[in-house]
Amino acid sequence: MTNSSTSTLEEKSATTLELFFDLVFVFAITQVVSLVVHDLTWTGLFHATVILGILWWGWTNWTWVTNLVSLEPRIRKMVVLVAMLGVFVMAHAVPTSFEGDGLWLAVPYVLVSALSSTLMFLDARTSGADLTGFTRYAPLMLLGGVLLVAGAFFDETQQWTWLASLAVTMLAAALGGNSDWTIDAKHFAERHGLIMIIALGEAIIAVGATLAGEAPSSEIATYLAIGLAFAMTLYWAYFDRAQEIWEQALRLADMRATGKFARDVYSLTHFPMIIGIVLSAVALETAFHDPNHALEPFVGMIFVIGIASFLLGIAAAAFRANRIILWERVITVGIIAVVVLGPADMTARTTVIVVTALLVASMITEWIRYRYFASYDTAETAA
């Protein structure tokens, strides 16, 4: 798609149909969390990460399409609803997709991807837009789908074939993003912000659902407050400053750089952020099953990996967007790893409290530093 200056485009907002489409991903993320919780092993974690990657790139395909293509024609709305059914079927198959039901995830994925590609191709043919980016992306994306279907037939090699499928799909995105694309910065940032909200909702659900069977009490209210406070810090970490950094950078990017920028900052680095939230939700659900005993070592490892994936994903996006190094977040990852995995004998409840406090301290420190440099830059400009 040939790009034009984003400053001359009339920016659009996410439609209600897109928000409705995202609802099936609420169920999908819940299914991935459940998969890890019921298989707390490295194999279970690996399987969940591969499946989450497949789901993520399925969602990402549609985000690029809806950023470029108008969904006003009724036939296009019907196509989105059909794709929504495909994602719903995929999500239902998540828990058993490595136990003989892989085709129920693979085939709908191919269908959903084909529908998104068809919409983009037909729209480009109608508008006369350049299809260079699409032709670079589509063949490898098709190969990724073929590998996904093929892997479902062979139990012994399924996980490696599906990993190869995910790698091929990411390569397709890398090559396709090198072309010129017309990116609506407001819409693109809003869509990714909304999927982050959906993922963060899973962290809240993990705590609420775990404690749902307990009678209301001051102790349960405390646990709910702890879980919500943790989710709030993740929300703070993404939406307070970080989101603004890359949305503004995308809006001001050179017209021939927006495709690469959107690929790197949104499609690629947001994936580890989603992984981080999902793994944090797993840790929270496990922690509040037995809050007065220490986290199991593997759960502690999942918690650290989740926090690291989330914070470092944000740091990578900020650096790519504006060469900003969010030192506080990088350092906090190391501190949290020492605290959670160290010799200290803390209950699960205390561990979540300490991690939350460290995240809050990191955000406050970053805010103070950010405010200082912002004030200094303003003073320099005035002088």
Strands (E), 83-186: none
Distance CA 62, CA 17 (A): 12
Residue 110, H or E segment: helix 103-127
Distance CA 368, CA 224 (A): 29
How many residues in the chain? Answer: 383
Q: Which residues of the chain have pLDDT under 70?
A: 1-10, 124-133, 177-180, 254-255, 372-383
Give me 151's structure tokens. 């892997």
**pLDDT recorded at residue 255:** 66
Question: 291 by DSSP, 3-state: which?
Answer: coil
Q: How many CB atoms lie within 10 A of CB 10?
A: 6
Distance CA 81, CA 361 (A): 44
CB-based burial of residue 276 (10 Å sphere; 0-12 exposed, 13-18 middle, 19+ buried)?
Answer: buried
Distance CA 98, CA 162 (A): 10
Question: 323 by DSSP, 3-state: which?
Answer: coil
Q: Are 306 and 276 in contact (CB under 8 A)?
A: yes
Strands (E), 159-291: none
Q: pLDDT for 206-251, tens place per residue?
A: 888 888 888 888 999 999 999 999 999 999 999 887 777 787 788 7
The DSSP code for 294 is P
Q: Are 145 and 54 in contact (CB under 8 A)?
A: no
Give me 72's structure tokens. 């006003």
Cβ partners under 8 Å of residue 122, min gap 6: none
Distance CA 213, CA 35 (A): 21
Q: What backbone phi and psi angles, to 5 degrees, belong to 342? A: -75, -175
Residue 121, H or E segment: helix 103-127
Distance CA 65, CA 198 (A): 20
Distance CA 32, CA 20 (A): 20
Domain limits of the chain?
A: 1-182, 184-374
**pLDDT recorded at residue 136:** 76
**pLDDT recorded at residue 127:** 64
Give me 140's structure tokens. 């490898």
Torsion of CA 180, 246, 302, 233, to 10 degrees: -160
Distance CA 17, CA 264 (A): 26
Strands (E), the chain: none
Distance CA 240, CA 298 (A): 31
**pLDDT recorded at residue 131:** 65
Instruction: Name residue, tokens 């899973």.
Output: 202
CB-based burial of residue 275 (10 Å sphere; 0-12 exposed, 13-18 middle, 19+ buried)?
Answer: buried
What is the CATH code for 184-374?
A: 1.20.1410
Distance CA 35, CA 44 (A): 7
Q: Are 177 and 260 in contact (CB under 8 A)?
A: yes
Distance CA 116, CA 80 (A): 8
Q: pLDDT for 127-169, tens place per residue?
A: 656 666 677 777 888 888 899 999 999 878 899 999 999 999 8
Cβ partners under 8 Å of residue 205, min gap 6: 30, 281
Residue whose C-alpha is closest to residue 271's, from 167, 116, 352, 122: 167
Straight-line distance from the first to the last Cα atom of the chain, in angstroms, rounded to the nearest whole number: 43
- Supply the pTM of this predicted model: 0.89
